[in-house]
Structure formats: structure tokens, C-alpha cells
């Protein structure tokens, strides 16, 4: 058990807003000011308190965790390659390195040449680099430099022939696309300004102050505008998203070779309440859409000298019952269709008119990323992963249909000892909700199994079978790792998403509770042995679990969460999420939000389960104020209820929401989470020794 220390006492304020005739208290609003001296002192005390409590845990168990995580995470790993001409670009992190390095390779069997090493930019290891774009002739790349886990990046450019950066740089900001022209003389980029996203054009060798805006006038900060190029970099393709999960997308095209300007932007579609996403190859758009097809269909449209009329579109892929169309990519003179079918990937190959040719053979039930390639090249790449299968990259020959392993990480686990099965629970309204259970083969379900439950349930995002070192560790230790496919996600199309957002958000929480109860009723475990964990929108999920069903969970992990749903839309980029949640500025939507907002549903006299809130200063997506305010509120509630269950704030003053942490920090954070769970799950059989960890 963790040592019981007294949590710091946080000053309360008597702040009450009246919204739509309802009084709404906000006693810790002062913690919204991240930079105030009082908040910084409060954070210093909370960080010290958390560290003292976690350091009081069983040192042998912490060593077991760190040793195992080091074995699974300190390995050579690399990204999928991207090919231009005969040159390949990818990122790799070796076992001894804290961050990924960007590499270039000339030819399949060429020597790997490091391009960007983040340690040379920042020796502290807190800076990472990501590949953003490659010119058509492979002479130039764009890459982003990120500090900590912030969403913002600085954009830089590197030349293949000189092996040096160009002097051109874009300042740190939010970018939603960087696209290099076919002649390599200019670059288009979408940047988030105070008024919203704008697409601008920069000519290399000129001042960024001279950049010309080519798209974005009239769009407010609630829209997301992205830009990409066609496969030959001759067209700029612009998508306008109505928020992070809105039901409408606009599509535009701009000739990227003939003095591009705002007057030359061509409208493909902007008057239909549906989603559209396009790849452009050889002057043809391959458009995936849910227009009149909730499961997805695809069209082919020519980019002519006039506006592309929908009457000329050719339907090449019809809606398939029971399958969600994820992407349509032209490669090697064929089309590769990615589907999600029963929460598992399926990849289909057709001709360019949509006639079925074959299915890509996959190792098992799992998740495919890709394939990616070029219309006039028979080489493609994709990755495959499952709960017990580390992410493996494959090279696909589109002429023969054969796949060969391009790279596979040497993760020291024995996948044959792990079982993955799918079960279903019935939610409060009668809906069947699926979940994946991951555990050791032959595990005895004796009612005492420690369970780690996670889910997301939002933004049309699907939780598919993906490899997780945490899942592998949990299974090795005779626990059950559970991923629930909650409503609000995209696992079964827009209807499933719509059933879990806006006024239907409570369905997501009810789905979680039903699956948790199923695990108890099945005889596998009991409430004191269950940890529930989630991040971002999943942090909202666990915040609701904490406040609505504190009796159902032995430990709560609430990472980078949304918790004050009355004020969330006022901070950072949260206006993008109004289509998903609604806004308290609307009287009806205010009632939805207030009914479940975790910060506003903490009740006096309740002993809440042990809870670990996780966030950091550099989270520039979900404002860390949510976790700060909720930590103070739950700590006060525990004190009032004379409850000894610890409530900790795991706060990093350097890291944030996005990727970019050095591997050492990633391991330490995971270890803290597992140590907290281990110390607080009740009764015998808590994850500790379990089965012996394999070494190969």
C-alpha cells in the first residue's frame, strides 16, 4: 500500500455563475491561470505530494515494472517508409536513443543516412522531429520540431543534395499540412492563426512576411483546414472540416504549377452536409464519402478547367453492409480499399473502376495502417498490429500481391501465450457493446483477477486491436486487459458515433458501466480489483466513471482529461469539439453538459476511489486546468468524507498531450501509473509476480 500522507489544502473561492437560470459553482477557477505565482506554488506542492506518495510504494514491484518496460520499449523501432523516386524516408529510434531520428536511404538496399537528429537540436532529449512532407523529386523534405508534448511545431526544410537545412523556417505554431510544389520552389502550408486556419504560399528564399494567402477567408477558428498535394505535386487539395467530428467537409483544388492564387481555387464540393476526403492522382480525384452512404462509398472525378460537377462523378465503390470504408488509395494502377469490419481491418484490391481483384492477406484479426504508395509504382507499404503482435511493417508488391516484412521490432514477448477474445455486454438501453479481453491463455477466472479497462468513445475514432506493451505486461502478470468499443467511436459507422455524442453522451458512460458489470458477473473479478483508465476524451470517460459510479472501480487513471464541460470550449482549441459535445452557451446543450460534467457532479459525503490525474504544462490541446481544478475538488471531497483513498496529480512541467516524450520519461510515467494501480487495487492477487516474463 501507498503511505497515507495528507494532501495539500487548496484555497476555495465563492464563485457562482448563473447560466440559463441555473447557479453553477466554480470554487477553483483561480487554478485556470497556469502562470500565476499562486498556481505555480500550488503545483509545486502537488508535485511534491504525488512524488512522496508514489515513492512510498513497494520498491521491488517498481523495479519489476521498470525492468519489464525497459525490455519492451527500449528496442529498435522505426516508422513506415515513404518513397519518392528511388529514395526512402523514415524515422527510427534505436534502443539506446531517447528520440526518433529521421533517415534517408537511396535504393532498397542502400545505406541509411541520418537527416535530422533531435539530440543535436536539443541535448536534453525533450525535443522530437517528425517528417511532414517530401518533394516529388526527393530533393527536399519538410520536418517539424516539437518541444515536449506540445501540439505546436516549428517547420524546417532540409535539402538532399547539400545535406543541410534551408534558411527558411516557419515559427512555432499549429500546422495542418505542409505541401511542397513539384518544382521545389515553393511550399503551401495551413497554419492556425487567431482568426482561424489559413492556407498560405511561401517561395523559398523569401521572407515569410511576404507569404501569400490562397485560402481561408471567411472561415472562423472553429473550422480545421488542411492541405496536401496530388501524387505528382501538381495540385493542392484542400479540405475544410467542420470541427473535429463534424458531419460536413468541404473540398477544393488548386493548380500548384501555374502561379497559384486565391482566385484560382476550384470548388469540388461545399454544399452537401456530408464528409468528403480525396486523393488526387494524375488529374483524377478518388473521393471517399458518407454522402448517402453512412458506411462509406467512393467516387472518381476529373479535375478539369471548370468546376468539377457532381453529375460527372463516377461511383466506383458502393456501400458495403457491415463494413466501414476507411480509405481509398490508388497504388500501382489499382485501388486499395481499407475497411473496418467487426472492429478489425480488411484491405481489398480493385481495379481503378472498383472491380474486385483480391483481398490482401493479413496475419490475423488486427489493425492495418495503410497501404501507401503511388499510382505509377508497384511498391506499397503498410503496417499490421494486434494486441499480441507488435507493429510490423510490410512491403507490398502490387503486381504480384505478395507482402514481405520490411521491418519488425524485436519485442521480447511470447505472443503464443496470450489470448484475445471478444465479448459483448448489454448497455442500459439494450445496445450490445463489444469489448476485447486480453489475458494469458488458460487463465483461471477466480473472481480475483485484476482488470485494466480502457476506452475512448468519441470523435468517430475507433479502438481497434493494436499492440500495447501495457496490455502485454498486464497479461503476463495474470491480469485481464480490456478495451471497450464504446458508442461515440467509429467502429460501426456514423450511427454508432452519433449514438454517443452531444445529447447522447451518457450512452458512452452507460456502455462502460455495463461492460464493467459484465466482467464482475462473469466471475472474473470484483469492483475492488478493477482499474479504469483513459486519456483525453477517454479522460472525460474516466472522470464520469469516478463521479457517477465510484462504487464500481478500485482505481481511476484520468489522463489529459476534459472535466469542466461548462467552460471547456473557452480554452485552447476546444471550439473544434463543440460539434462533438455541444456548448453551454446554448440552453439545451447546457443541460446535456451539466448532467454529466465531472467537475460539476462531485457529491459531498462520497468516498471516491484512489485516483491519479495526469497532465502537464505543455498540453496545448486539452487545457491542463481541467486536471488541476478536479484534483483540488476531489481532494477536498475526500477530506470532507474522511476518506483515505489518495487523489494525486501527476503533473509534468515540460511534457504535454502529443507524442515527443523521450523514452525514459515514457517508461517512468507508465511505471508510476502501474505502481499506483498496484498499490490501490484491493484484495489478494493484485498484479505483482504473476507468470514469469519471457525473455525472447
pLDDT at 360 over 90: yes
pLDDT at 304 over 90: no
Average pLDDT (276-303) is 94
Are 551 and 478 within 8 A, CB to CB?
no
* CA R_g for the chain: 25
CA 305 to chain CA centroid, nearest Å:
38
Q: Which residue has the higher pLDDT, 660 or 426?
A: 426
Highest-pLDDT range among 1-10, 242-251, 556-565: 556-565
Q: Taking all residues of the chain, what is their mean pLDDT, rounded to a whole number?
A: 93
Q: Options 3.40.50.1820, 3.40.50.620, 3.30.70.20, 3.40.190.10; which CATH number does 16-71+413-680 get?
A: 3.40.50.1820
What is the reported pLDDT for 4? 67
Ordered by start, the domain boundaries in the chain are: 16-71+413-680, 77-170, 174-319, 325-410
CA 431 to chain CA centroid, nearest Å:
26
pLDDT band at 279 (very low <50, low <70, confident <90, very high): very high
Average pLDDT (640-645) is 95
Pairing state of beta strands 16-19 and 403-407? unpaired
Measured at the CA of 690, the angle between CA 684 and CA 691, to 5 degrees, comes to 155
330-356 pLDDT tens trace? 999 999 999 999 999 999 999 999 999
Residue 227 β-bridge partners: 238
Q: Which residue has the higher pLDDT, 506 or 619?
A: 506
Distance CA 266, CA 262 (A): 9
Cis peptide upstream of residue 371 (ω within 30 degrees of 0)? yes
pLDDT band at 661 (very low <50, low <70, confident <90, very high): confident
3-state secondary structure of 470: helix
What is the reported pLDDT for 688? 38
Q: How far is CA 42 from CA 9, 45, 419, 629, 649, in A?
A: 9, 5, 45, 11, 11
pLDDT band at 684 (very low <50, low <70, confident <90, very high): very low
Please say whether the structural domain 174-319 has been given the CATH code 2.130.10.120. yes
What is the reported pLDDT for 323? 95
Q: What is the DSSP letter of 658?
A: S
Q: Among all chains, which residue has been given the C-alpha cell 457532381?
A: 310
pLDDT band at 235 (very low <50, low <70, confident <90, very high): very high
Average pLDDT (262-286) is 93
Average pLDDT (221-246) is 93
127-137 pLDDT tens trace? 999 999 999 99
What is the reported pLDDT for 3? 63
Distance CA 368, CA 80 (A): 12
Amino acid at each position: 500500500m501507498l503511505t497515507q500522507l495528507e494532501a495539500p489544502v487548496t484555497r476555495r473561492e465563492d464563485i457562482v455563475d448563473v447560466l440559463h437560470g441555473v447557479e453553477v459553482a466554480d470554487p477553483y477557477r483561480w487554478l485556470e491561470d497556469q502562470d500565476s505565482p499562486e498556481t505555480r506554488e500550488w503545483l509545486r506542492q502537488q508535485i511534491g505530494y504525488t512524488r512522496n506518495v508514489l515513492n512510498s510504494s513497494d520498491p521491488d514491484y517498481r523495479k519489476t515494472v521498470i525492468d519489464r518496460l525497459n525490455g519492451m520499449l527500449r528496442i529498435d523501432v522505426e516508422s513506415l517508409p515513404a518513397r519518392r523516386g528511388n529514395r526512402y524516408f523514415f524515422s527510427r529510434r534505436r534502443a539506446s536513443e531517447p528520440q526518433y531520428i529521421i533517415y534517408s536511404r537511396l535504393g532498397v538496399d542502400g545505406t541509411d543516412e541520418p537527416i535530422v537528429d533531435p539530440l543535436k537540436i536539443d541535448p536534453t532529449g525533450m525535443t522530437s522531429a517528425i517528417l511532414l512532407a517530401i518533394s516529388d523529386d526527393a530533393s527536399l523534405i519538410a520536418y517539424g520540431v516539437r518541444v515536449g508534448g506540445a501540439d505546436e511545431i516549428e517547420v524546417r526544410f532540409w535539402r538532399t543534395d547539400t545535406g543541410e537545412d534551408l534558411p527558411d523556417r516557419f515559427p512555432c505554431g499549429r500546422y495542418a499540412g505542409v505541401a511542397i510544389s513539384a518544382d521545389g520552389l515553393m511550399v503551401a502550408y495551413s497554419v492556425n492563426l487567431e482568426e482561424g486556419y489559413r492556407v498560405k504560399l511561401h517561395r523559398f528564399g523569401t521572407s515569410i512576411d511576404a507569404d501569400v494567402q490562397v485560402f481561408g477567408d471567411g472561415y472562423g477558428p472553429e473550422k480545421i483546414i488542411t492541405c496536401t498535394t496530388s501524387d505528382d505535386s501538381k495540385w493542392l487539395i484542400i479540405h475544410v472540416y467542420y470541427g473535429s467530428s463534424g458531419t460536413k467537409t468541404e473540398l477544393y483544388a488548386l493548380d500548384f504549377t501555374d502561379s497559384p492564387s486565391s482566385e484560382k481555387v476550384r470548388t469540388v464540393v461545399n454544399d452537401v452536409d456530408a464528409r468528403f476526403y480525396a486523393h488526387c492522382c494524375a488529374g483524377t480525384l478518388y473521393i471517399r464519402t458518407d454522402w448517402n452512404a453512412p458506411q462509406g462509398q467512393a467516387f472518381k472525378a476529373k479535375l478539369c478547367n471548370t468546376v468539377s460537377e457532381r453529375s460527372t462523378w463516377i461511383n466506383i465503390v458502393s456501400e458495403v453492409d457491415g463494413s466501414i470504408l476507411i480509405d481509398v488509395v490508388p497504388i500501382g494502377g489499382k485501388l486499395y480499399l481499407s475497411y473496418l469490419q467487426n472492429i478489425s481491418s480488411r484491405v481489398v484490391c480493385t481495379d481503378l473502376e472498383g472491380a474486385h481483384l483480391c483481398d490482401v492477406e493479413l496475419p490475423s484479426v488486427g489493425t492495418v495502417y495503410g497501404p501507401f504508395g503511388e499510382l505509377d509504382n508497384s511498391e506499397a507499404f503498410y503496417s499490421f498490429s494486434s494486441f499480441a503482435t507488435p507493429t510490423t511493417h510490410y512491403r507490398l508488391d502490387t503486381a504480384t500481391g505478395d507482402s514481405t516484412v520490411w521491418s519488425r521490432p524485436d519485442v521480447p514477448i511470447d505472443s503464443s501465450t496470450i489470448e484475445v477474445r471478444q465479448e459483448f455486454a448489454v448497455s442500459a438501453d439494450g445496445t450490445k457493446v463489444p469489448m476485447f479481453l486480453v489475458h494469458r491463455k488458460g487463465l483461471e477466472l477466480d473472481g480475483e483477477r485484476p482488470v485494466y479497462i480502457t476506452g475512448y468513445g468519441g470523435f468517430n475514432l475507433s479502438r481497434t486491436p493494436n499492440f500495447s506493451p501495457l496490455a502485454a505486461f498486464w497479461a503476463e502478470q495474470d491480469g485481464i486487459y480490456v478495451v471497450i468499443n464504446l458508442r461515440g467511436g467509429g467502429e460501426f459507422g456514423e450511427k454508432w458515433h452519433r449514438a454517443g455524442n452531444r445529447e447522447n453522451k451518457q450512452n458512452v458512460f452507460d456502455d462502460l458501466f455495463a461492460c464493467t458489470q459484465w466482467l464482475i458477473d462473469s466471475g472474473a473479478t470484483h469492483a475492488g480489483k478493477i482499474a479504469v483508465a483513459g486519456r483525453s476524451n477517454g479522460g472525460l470517460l474516466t472522470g464520469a466513471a469516478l463521479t457517477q459510479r465510484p462504487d464500481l472501480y478500485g482505481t481511476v487513471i484520468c489522463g489529459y482529461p476534459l472535466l469542466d464541460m461548462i467552460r471547456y470550449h473557452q480554452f485552447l482549441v476546444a471550439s473544434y469539439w463543440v460539434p462533438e459535445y455541444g456548448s453551454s452557451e446554448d440552453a439545451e446543450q447546457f443541460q446535456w453538459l451539466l448532467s454529466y460534467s465531472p467537475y460539476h457532479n462531485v457529491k459531498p459525503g462520497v468516498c471516491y476511489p484512489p485516483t491519479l490525474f495526469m497532465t502537464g504544462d505543455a498540453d496545448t490541446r486539452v487545457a491542463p486546468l481541467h486536471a488541476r481544478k478536479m484534483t483540488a475538488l476531489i481532494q477536498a471531497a475526500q477530506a470532507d468524507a474522511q476518506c483515505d483513498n489518495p487523489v494525486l496529480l501527476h503533473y509534468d512541467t515540460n511534457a504535454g498531450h502529443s507524442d515527443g516524450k523521450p523514452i525514459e520519461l515514457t517508461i517512468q510515467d507508465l511505471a508510476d501509473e502501474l505502481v499506483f494501480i498496484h498499490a490501490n487495487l484491493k484484495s489478494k492477487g493484485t498484479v505483482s509476480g504473476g507468470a514469469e516474463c519471457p525473455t525472447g
